């Protein structure tokens, strides 16, 4: 199985932005902590982070309400405590989730990695198949669906039914050497195919092959 491409690392600019975001509770004296953690909650889609906004909003409100209190009073002490909680706790919280917010979370186990790989390759196929459908000549130049030719990208496992050799056609699940050779002979006589259903009908392929042809086949002429 082709391995999933590693998740690209964030560039220097994005990393700087992530630290500017995570340290915002400090340099805004805790007043921006609700906004900072609101961004985290929205990006992580986490109910716990949405709930965490309640105390952060409370801290900000208390700070504003006690900001004019005289030094040494009880209200001044409350202001200092809430300022420390909002700025320091908020910064620690933001730093703890910074990478997840800006870089995404890593898959937790082998099953999750396999699911992410399958989704990734399906997205590659959809994109490359769209090019083959809308711009056949470009697809031919890019060698979409041609694993037998050198390329510098991954198209998700597509196969050009009208041009790829029999060995490439056999990468489609369920495709036998006999099926592949029959397709190659027929496309030479017919000038190519336009759909998975046409291939299946003309080559008299088993019904179970049609969904695989539709998923993995492209038909530029």
Q: What angle do CA 38, 40, 42 make, to 5 degrees?
A: 70
To the nearest 10°, report the CA torsion of 134, 140, 144, 148: 160
pLDDT by residue for the chain (221 residues), tens digit each? 344 444 445 568 888 999 999 999 999 989 999 999 999 999 888 888 899 899 999 999 999 898 888 888 888 899 999 999 999 999 999 999 998 888 765 556 778 778 888 889 999 999 999 999 999 999 999 999 999 999 999 999 999 999 999 999 999 999 999 999 999 999 999 999 999 999 999 999 999 999 999 999 999 98
- Does pTM top 0.85 for this prediction? no
The domain limits of the chain are 12-103, 135-218
Sequence-distant (≥ 6) Cβ neighbours of residue 88 within 8 angstroms:
25, 26
Q: Which two tokens stand for residue 14?
A: 């994005």
End-to-end CA distance of the chain: 29
């Amino acid at each position: 199985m082709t391995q999933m491409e590693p998740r690209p690392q964030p560039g220097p600019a994005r990393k700087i932005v992530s630290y500017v975001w995570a340290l915002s509770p400090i340099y805004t004296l805790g007043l921006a902590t609700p906004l900072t953690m609101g961004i985290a909650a929205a990006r992580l889609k986490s109910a716990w982070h949405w709930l965490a906004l309640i105390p952060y909003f409370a801290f900000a409100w208390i700070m504003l309400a006690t900001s004019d209190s005289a030094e040494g009073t009880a209200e001044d002490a409350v202001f200092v405590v809430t300022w420390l909680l909002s700025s320091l706790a908020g910064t620690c919280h933001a730093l703890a989730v910074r990478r997840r917010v800006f870089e995404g979370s890593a898959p937790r186990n082998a099953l999750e990695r396999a699911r992410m790989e399958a989704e990734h390759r399906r997205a590659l196929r959809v994109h490359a198949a769209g090019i083959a459908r809308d711009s056949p000549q470009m697809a031919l130049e890019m060698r979409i669906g041609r694993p037998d030719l050198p390329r510098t990208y991954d198209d998700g496992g597509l196969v050009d039914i009208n041009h790829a050799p029999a060995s490439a056609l056999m990468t489609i699940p369920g495709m036998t050497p006999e099926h592949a050779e029959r397709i190659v002979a027929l496309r030479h006589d017919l000038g190519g195919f336009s759909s998975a259903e046409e291939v299946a009908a003309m080559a008299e392929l088993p019904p179970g092959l049609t969904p695989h042809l539709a998923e993995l086949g492209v038909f530029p002429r």
